[in-house]
Amino acid sequence: MGRRVNVIGVGMTKFAKPGASDDYHVMASAAGRAALEDAGVAFSEIEQAYAGYVYGDSTCGQRAVYELGLTGIPVFNVNNNCSTGSTALMLARQAVEGGLCECVIAIGFEKMEKGALGSKFTDRTNPVERHALVMSEVQGFTQAPPAAQMFGGAGREYQWKHGTKRETFAKISEKARKHAAKNPYAIFNQPLTVDEVLASDPVYDPLTRYQCCPPTCGAAAAVLCSDDFAKKHGIAKPVYIAAQAMTTDLPSSFEPKSMIKMVGYDMAAGAAKKVYEKAGLGPQDVQVVELHDCFTANELLTYEALGLCKEGEAEKFIWDGDNTYGGKFVTNPSGGLLSKGHPLGATGLAQCTELVWQLRGQAGDRQVPSAHVALQHNLGLGGACVVTMYRRD
């Protein structure tokens, strides 16, 4: 059993549309400085840095971290598709948990271009992507961006199995915008109705434009430390990582021929199971969740994969309001990827930032009452899924 790992500082930039952001190193250093200030720690006390991004050169991490200081520390560049930010967080946690370091920083950033989410998943040499595209072609829908084909296809499969209404998927987007209206860091915070979501341009049935996350630019960061380091710096009752797990693809990603399995359902369920077992807690103990809603279909599937509701009951879960304030859980109080945006390398650390704020009671108008246990789900196809549980006693 390793040492407890605390998250003592977090920070992020307001996400921006492609073409309207600062350069990546400017965003990353701004998020890093915010996290250091939040922690009350000088960069000279940081022993290692983990920099996550998808689009960029091999040492963009150095370019970003050097803005914080030139102290000669190791800088590790991390790329794990959409789960990059949480992968950097996991590596940072392991360094502290294993006793290699007392204090480290994880930074995630991305400067994206328009249409990046549509073009990213086009590598037919990747077995997951190739499998998904072949299945989409069999279904007769090949004009949508490949990522939408994957997750839209999973949504269609869920509909076939459970008779789910198109309005149910749109209801998730309506909820996301309602939450984002209270988040100054979200790029889209104008409320939408279910009818407006359904009336937006069709992408890949059941998905419409407002049910797909936008490519955005931004950065986020977290400072992690040991208990001894926190005590020496007078940090009382910090948020800590109660459990964390990463899973990658299983045989079920390819057989049986299921789009639901292919887009990470079993990865998420497996990682969640490990986290619950390690933490000694279950989904019933969680108050707030930030999950990977790259498309509304994935949010619906993830409710069941994480055990927030039983298999086949996501539609009732949504219409009963158990995914929002006043229900069983508040999912994506930040507005999620659908409203906050999805700068690939930053997403996992932005989720971390939101949950730390929630557990500290610093989330302002979107604060979840009495939040003391939080759950994070960050998914990347190709594939990797990271699930993290945070606590504040």
Name the class of domain 5-115+214-391. Answer: alpha beta
Is 82 labeled as catalytic in the residue annotation? Answer: yes
Residue 200: count of CB within 10 angstroms of its CB: 16
Q: Give me the count of residues in the chain.
A: 393
**Mean local confidence (pLDDT), 321-330:** 98
What global pTM score does this model have? 0.93
What pLDDT does 233 receive?
A: 97
What pLDDT does 113 receive?
A: 83
The residue from 60, 82, 309, 352 that is catalytic is 82
**Mean local confidence (pLDDT), 52-80:** 97
For residue 84, pLDDT beyond 70: yes
Structure tokens at 228: 């001894």
β strands within 166-258, DSSP E: 202-204, 207-208, 218-225, 239-247
Q: Name the more confident of 304 and 128.
A: 304
**Mean local confidence (pLDDT), 312-320:** 98
Which DSSP helix (H) or strand (E) runs through 289? Answer: strand 288-290
CB-based burial label for 289 (10 Å; 0-12, 13-18, 19+): buried
Interhelix angle 265-279/296-305, nearest 10 degrees: 40
Among 122-136, 153-167, 170-184, the least confident range? 122-136
CB-based burial label for 66 (10 Å; 0-12, 13-18, 19+): middle
Confidence of residue 256 (pLDDT cuts 50, 70, 90): confident
For the chain, give every domain's residue range.
5-115+214-391
Confidence of residue 268 (pLDDT cuts 50, 70, 90): very high
Confidence of residue 236 (pLDDT cuts 50, 70, 90): very high
277: Cβ contacts below 8 Å, ≥ 6 apart:
none
For residue 34, pLDDT beyond 60: yes
Measure the CA–CA gap between 214 and 216, rounded to whole angstroms. Answer: 6
